[in-house]
């Protein structure tokens, strides 16, 4: 793991902490360099052991550039709370964040089939068992990519704490307003017949 | 605004849509190029008219590089729902995302004082009026930066729709599981005396 220059109390060198952060989110930001300039795009992703699986359209030019091995950085951030201190200076946020650096590789065939199923099941656990698998023409339109998780090529930082204690207690309130993401009632598509129950995968998603 | 090559139905050329996305989130990902490699960091931010205000520690080397005018891209993404289609291929996410490209500039003095107040009030609306302003030593430790929002240098994409309609109706359920971020009960810091009421800013934050 990289040396963390700032706020070393927030960084972790434990791979399990990286995995926990990566597994808790569904969307991240992929960054690369195109013609010397920074290029970023939000992407759905899933962790598959020692790699991050991504997908995109085969028609997207910059993605093809990335899939061809350009150095990339994939960043995931979750805002977990607003940290309200005695002062503006000490007010901050609780968060979990991870950055994984490396070169993406594109892949196809059976490896792509299972990676895309994994990606779907990461977003909607159990969904791939409820519907048909991807058709050949769907696979042909999809760019499956993986970013390896290699030692020394990732950073994970977590802040999960009260505000810093003031040097002189003002007697005022300080603390944390926790934030969390919740799922609402599933909204059926317009063509779905009234009374059609959501599948088990969707019912489980709402309970998560 | 840039030409959007993929999924043009999702992109907007309206500056008001960009502002709405930027104003709805509190954390984004700043990307730049350091020694030819992509470099990313999550950052709290606020929109201040035609610029994005960021801050960091003056001790952070890469941030100083960015503040010195390196080309940057700032990316904001909110995941608004899981789109469950008849097929894995058509399943996706509803989201709002924005990317603003440009060169950051650092600033100090009175401009930094008001920008940092704005940043605090964006995270905790009304907070700057409840506490003292930043001290000189706090300002000296803080790198205030701004990324201009210029025509042709931003992209905003929103997906807020049901799944694509299937070519043949399977009779199964399809739809959207909406996601939203909610604030929980404020948690007082360990040294705060029992019964101390949270300030108005925190009470409002919980209601948002």
Q: Does B43 touch chain A (CB under 8 A)?
A: no
User: For residues A27 and A43, is the Cβ–Cβ distance under 8 A?
Assistant: yes
**Phi, psi values for residue A174, rounded to 5°:** -145, 155
- Among B116, B172, B177, beta carbon nearest to A88: B116
| A-chain residues near B173 (CB < 8 A) | 186, 188, 192, 196-199, 202
Superfamily designation of domain B8-165+174-179: Electron Transport, Fmn-binding Protein; Chain A (2.30.110.10)
Supply the pLDDT for residue B9: 56
- Which residues from chain B sit within 8 angstroms of residue A79, using beta carbons? 26-27, 181
Is ipTM > 0.90 here? yes
Min distance B202 CA to chain A CA atoms (Å): 8
β-strand A71-84 against A92-103: which pairing, if any? antiparallel
From A186's Cα to the closest Cα of chain B, the distance in A is 4
Contact B91, A116 (CB under 8 A): no
Q: Could you count the other beta carbons within 10 Å of the beta carbon of residue A81? A: 23
- Subunit contact B173:A199, Cβ cutoff 8 A: yes
On whether the A8-178 domain is CATH 3.40.190.10, my answer is no
pLDDT tens, residue order, chain B (208 aa): 333 333 445 888 899 999 999 999 999 999 999 999 999 999 999 999 999 999 987 777 778 888 888 999 999 999 999 999 999 999 999 999 999 999 999 888 888 899 999 999 999 999 999 998 888 888 888 889 999 999 999 999 999 999 998 888 778 999 999 999 999 999 999 999 999 999 999 999 988 7
DSSP one-letter code for A141: T
* B172 three-class SS: coil
Cα three-residue angle A81-A15-A62, rounded to 5 degrees: 80
Nearest CA in chain A to B5: A60
Structure tokens at B124: 């905790």
């Amino acid at each position: 793991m990289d040396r963390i220059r700032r706020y070393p109390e927030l960084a972790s060198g434990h791979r399990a902490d990286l995995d926990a952060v990566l597994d808790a989110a569904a969307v991240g930001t992929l960054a690369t360099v195109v013609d010397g300039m920074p290029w970023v795009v939000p992407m759905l992703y899933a962790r598959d052991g020692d790699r991050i699986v991504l997908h995109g359209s085969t028609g997207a030019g910059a993605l093809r550039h990335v899939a061809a091995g350009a150095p990339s950085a994939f960043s995931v951030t979750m805002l977990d709370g607003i940290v309200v201190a005695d002062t503006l200076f000490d007010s901050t946020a609780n968060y979990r964040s991870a950055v994984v650096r490396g070169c993406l590789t594109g892949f196809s065939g059976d490896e792509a089939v299972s990676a895309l199923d994994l990606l779907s099941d990461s977003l909607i656990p159990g969904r791939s068992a409820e519907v048909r698998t991807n058709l050949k023409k769907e696979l042909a339109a999809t760019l499956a990519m993986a970013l390896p998780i290699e030692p020394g090529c990732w950073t994970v930082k977590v802040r999960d704490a009260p505000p810093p204690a003031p040097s002189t207690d003002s007697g005022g309130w300080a603390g944390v307003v926790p934030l969390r993401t919740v799922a609402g009632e599933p909204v059926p598509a317009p063509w779905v017949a009234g009374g059609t129950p959501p599948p088990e995968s969707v019912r489980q998603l709402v309970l998560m």
